[in-house]
Amino acid sequence: MQTLNIIDKINKLKRQKNAVILSHFYQTDDIQDIADFVGDSLALAQEAAKSSAKIIVFAGVHFMAETAKIINPKSKVLLPDMDAGCSLADSCPPKNFKIFKEQYPNHLVISYINCSAEIKTMTDIVCTSSNALKIVNSLPKDAKIIFAPDKNLGGYINKISGRNMVLWDGSCDVHNILEAEKIVELKLKNTDAKLIAHPECQAAVLELADFVGSTSALLQYTSTSNFKKFIVATESGILHQMKKQNPTKEFIIVPSDKTCSCNDCPHMKKITLKKIYNVLLNESNEIILSDFIMKNALKPINRMLELS
Ligand code: 13P
Ligand code: SF4
């Protein structure tokens, strides 16, 4: 009998077990290509919410798999590597956040989805980079708001909305490291290119950008714009869809430092086809959350989904 390759084996198991693979744009090309759905954090949450699959294999990081489980408790949610965390989520430990929150009574909490489920239980509305402005603007102009955990996204929303939200001092190691100086150099060398940036980048980078948006918004911009060349300030995985949708356009990823020409999230890149196959086969690495978390983290996620 012919030996099946890993992709055929995964597809066979998916059919046998009524499973789907949801992948974030920051996954490697081979994973994006095998996935049933590829999207940004908001689209993945929406997809998980409406999925009727028995098993969801989440090709992404821990907080995304947790979110999928919370909004779709009937599905078994499997994360191919339990160590696929997130530096931004880790920058907001629940114990410290609880003390921080107590210093600001009468404040509503808006949390970026890149946080632990426990932080979500202390949150009024969750948001993603796709809908952060819309969520903030859904609250009265004089509302007192804490925004956590990303100070860069929070600062950017403060700037464009004219608000003064209190910001938790957290950031994403992958985006926060991108330097404005390096980008200015790239812009000078490529005067015909548009600079596009994810709002997790520092304010100095966002100020230089021609367009700021979530991964989906950046992808859409490159596909609908008449420009042919883009300097991309975000994680390198997004280039796969950008090149697929725009084979004649040129994309220059902003390098994270002088020694590295790539810009990879080490957590996202922990997921491999082999690990996807293993968790599907053994139904291992299941996300299990307490009843308290399931109930209390669902409310702010549902508020976000209603407002989106
Ligand atoms: P989006 O997918 O919402 O753009 O977020 C990017 C990110 O850092 C995911 O971890
Ligand atoms: Fe977290 Fe940053 Fe990686 Fe996104 S890119 S998963 S925010 S560490």
Domain harbouring 71, CATH code: 3.40.50.10800
- 107 and 132 in a single domain? The answer is yes
- Of 291, 275, 267, the C-alpha closest to 64 is 267
- 67 and 211 in a single domain? The answer is no
Residue with tokens 């004649």: 248
Range of the domain at 117: 88-173+297-307
Instruction: Please write the tens of the pLDDT for every residue from 77-119.
Output: 999 999 999 999 999 999 999 999 999 999 999 999 999 999 9
**Does the beta carbon of 114 sit less than 6 angstroms from any atom of ligand 2?**
yes
92 within domain boundaries? yes
Mean pLDDT of 270-285: 98
Among protein residues, the one whose CA lies closest to atom 3 of ligand 1: 41
Give yes or no for a contact between 216 and 40, defined as CB atoms under 8 angstroms apart.
yes
What pTM, to 2 d.p., does this model score?
0.95
**Does the beta carbon of 235 sit less than 6 angstroms from any atom of ligand 2?**
yes
Q: Measured in angstroms, how far is the CA atom of residue 142 from the centroid of ligand 2? A: 31
260 within domain boundaries? no
- 69 and 99 in a single domain? The answer is no
110 within domain boundaries? yes
203-229 in b/e form (b: 16+ CB < 10 A) is eebbebbebbbbbbbbbebbeeeeeee
Q: Where are the alpha helices (DSSP H) in 82-150?
A: 87-90, 94-102, 117-121, 132-137
Please count the structural domains in the chain.
3
219 within domain boundaries? yes
105 within domain boundaries? yes
261 has pLDDT over 70: no
Burial of 305 (0-12, 13-18, 19+ CB in 10 A): middle
- 101 and 73 in a single domain? The answer is no
Instruction: Please write the tens of the pLDDT for every residue from 38-79.
Output: 999 999 999 999 999 999 999 999 999 999 999 999 999 999
Instruction: Please write the tens of the pLDDT for every residue from 177-227.
Output: 999 999 999 999 999 999 999 999 999 999 999 999 999 999 999 999 999
Instruction: Please write the tens of the pLDDT for every residue from 14-42.
Output: 999 999 999 999 999 999 999 999 999 99
The pocket around ligand 1, CB under 6 angstroms, is made up of 40-41, 114, 128-130, 172, 200, 214-215
262 within domain boundaries? no
